[in-house]
Amino acid sequence: MTEDKKLSENPEHDLASRFPTAYTILFGLIVLVAALTWIIPAGQYERVMNEEVGREVAVPGTYQTMDPNPQGFVDVMLAPTAGFYDPDSYVANAIDVALFVLFLGGFLGVMNATGAIDTGIRSAMRHLKGHEIWMIPILMTLFAIGGTTYGMAEETLAFYSILIPVMIAAGYDVVTGIAIILIGAGIGVLGSTINPFATVIAANAANIPFTDGIVLRFVLLVGGLVICAAYVMRYAHRVKQDPSRSVVAKQWGAHRKLFLKGHDEGFEDATLNATQIIVLVIFAMTFAVMIWGVSSQGWWMARMGALFFGAAIVIGIVARLGEKKLTASFVDGARDLLGVALVVGLARGIVVIMDQGMIADTILHSAETSLGGLPELAFINLMFWIEVGMSFFVPSSSGLAVLSMPILAPLGDFANVGRDLVVTAYQSANGLVNLINPTFAVVVGGLAIGRVSYDRWIAFIWPLLLILTVFISLIISIGTLI
């Protein structure tokens, strides 16, 4: 066996030899932001409690410089830990997300031990043979509905280990599976209509009804979904026709071995037994309950983690795994996603450094002063790009809304631009950036589960980003004329 083939069968070795890991990228960004705290002056806005938003928001016109608090070596070392539980940030803590990921991993470990997923994948491919391509727009639409209605993001981490094997078995690659989930939910958030974590919070912070501008956002949602689905379908078709055109072609064999676990052949003989059918029903019901809880009952990571923990126990009992195999499978599954859980804390550590160095408000104040006196078209497009820049440092849609909208939305009044259009520019910018944002745990987490390096994801998605950027700019520019 040649050395090249050895590398191609070890995805983690192959990634490490070509591009830094997510951990290195995120820690490098922590160091970079810490360095900026020595350069950018410290400052803060006064903040008051906004009952509608449920958080403290900045008060326009109250910015003042503060004594600098540059972040040094010790602060950088503490940032990943503080990222899990920092109580003072305007961005939600990451410890609950990390624990949810571990419970999810345990749940999937138990499912894998039953053999139901492997057999189910082979059975599904037998029934879908010749029509696999249509799974892409259907599934992307479902994820987009989750994104536009309740801001589906961290919850998508539960679907990667399920969908990726299906896509590989269908003749596509890992990136196709990741794209369906990440881009599908992402375009939904970009075109949020009633998303309480983006549109509603931002509108409340801007002191307007969240229904203002909903038609334009619906155009963004539908148009963006059509563009994205067509892009992913075109890529998937090319890959199926010629696997060498995959952006992860060097890992083709390794990914099949890893995600199909040797079951990439023999679809014709795949038959689910009665126990496996019951297990898959419980599996599907678990996800249905999760979506119901998040979308209508206000569930967050703790309740979702408890749901997957309880479902793992039920599945273990139904499949008669026994106490030792059940617990061992759960722990092994959690171990498989431990790296994803650590990524969550690293990503949040960047926001912690910004908060402690008090440079976030200074950046926001610079944006405020740069927008003054601009004509409508220039104002809204510059607003979009300012939000793009801020989204890299504050990936949370609710966190960015609370930080920026109280300051930037009122500026639209002076430029004769509706505040609803400012909200639309904010959410589309945040949604666009979060398709690639290395500080967004959903991006680095999904890529980590799929064993795809960040540079390979950029190689896949950059043409789509250009298309979406032009599309968004066109829509918000038309919005100034309405």
SS3 322: coil
Residue 15 to residue 109: CA distance in whole angstroms: 24
Confidence of residue 317 (pLDDT cuts 50, 70, 90): very high
Position with higher pLDDT, 432 vs 404: 432
What pLDDT does residue 268 have?
53
Position 45 in a domain: yes
Per the CB < 8 A criterion, the answer to whether 90 and 352 are in contact is no
What pLDDT does residue 111 have?
87
Q: How far is CA 186 from the centre of its chain?
A: 7
Q: Tell me the DSSP string of 54-94.
A: TEEEEPTT--EE-------HHHHHHHHHHHHH-TT-SS--S
Position 216 in a domain: yes
Position 311 in a domain: yes
The amino acid that residue 278 corresponds to is: I
Could you read off the pLDDT of 14-69 as tens digits, one per residue? 444 456 777 888 888 899 999 999 999 999 888 888 777 667 788 888 889 999 99
What pLDDT does residue 371 have?
81
H or E element: which one contains 47?
strand 47-50
What pLDDT does residue 16 have?
41
What pLDDT does residue 42 have?
92
Position 298 in a domain: yes
Per the CB < 8 A criterion, the answer to whether 343 and 448 are in contact is yes
Could you read off the pLDDT of 75-129 as tens digits, one per residue? 999 888 887 876 555 445 678 778 888 898 899 889 888 888 777 766 766 676 7
Q: Tell which residue, 9, 6, 3, has the closest CA to residue 251.
A: 9
Residue 216 to residue 144: CA distance in whole angstroms: 16
Return phi, psi of residue 362, to 5°. Answer: -65, -45
Q: Which two tokens mark 224?
A: 């963006």
What pLDDT does residue 424 have?
95
- How many domains does the chain contain in total? 1
Q: How many CA atoms lie within 13 A of 170 on its CB side?
A: 27
- pTM of structure: 0.79
Q: Please give the residue range of the domain that contains residue 204.
A: 36-49+96-479
Residue 443 to residue 454: CA distance in whole angstroms: 9
Give the residues across from 49 on adjacent strands.
56
Residue 184 to residue 140: CA distance in whole angstroms: 4
What pLDDT does residue 36 have?
92
What pLDDT does residue 8 have?
41
What pLDDT does residue 1 have?
40
Position 6 in a domain: no
Rounded to whole angstroms, what are the CA distances from 314 to 99, 278, 282? 20, 11, 8
Position 439 in a domain: yes
Return phi, psi of residue 161, to 5°. Answer: -70, -15
Residues 6+ apart with CB under 8 A from 215: none
For residue 168, pLDDT over 50 is answered with yes
What pLDDT does residue 394 have?
83
What pLDDT does residue 86 have?
61
Q: Which residue's structure tokens are 């536009």?
A: 148
> What is the signed CA dihedral for 369, 374, 376, 377, rounded to 10 degrees?
-100
Give the range with max mean pLDDT: 150-154, 217-221, 390-394: 217-221
Q: What is the mean pLDDT of the chain?
A: 84
For residue 193, pLDDT over 60 is answered with yes
Residue 420 to residue 467: CA distance in whole angstroms: 24
Position 67 in a domain: no
Could you read off the pLDDT of 244-277 as tens digits, one per residue? 999 999 988 888 888 877 455 545 555 778 888 8
Position with higher pLDDT, 413 vs 72: 72
Residue 67: other Cβ atoms inside 10 A: 6
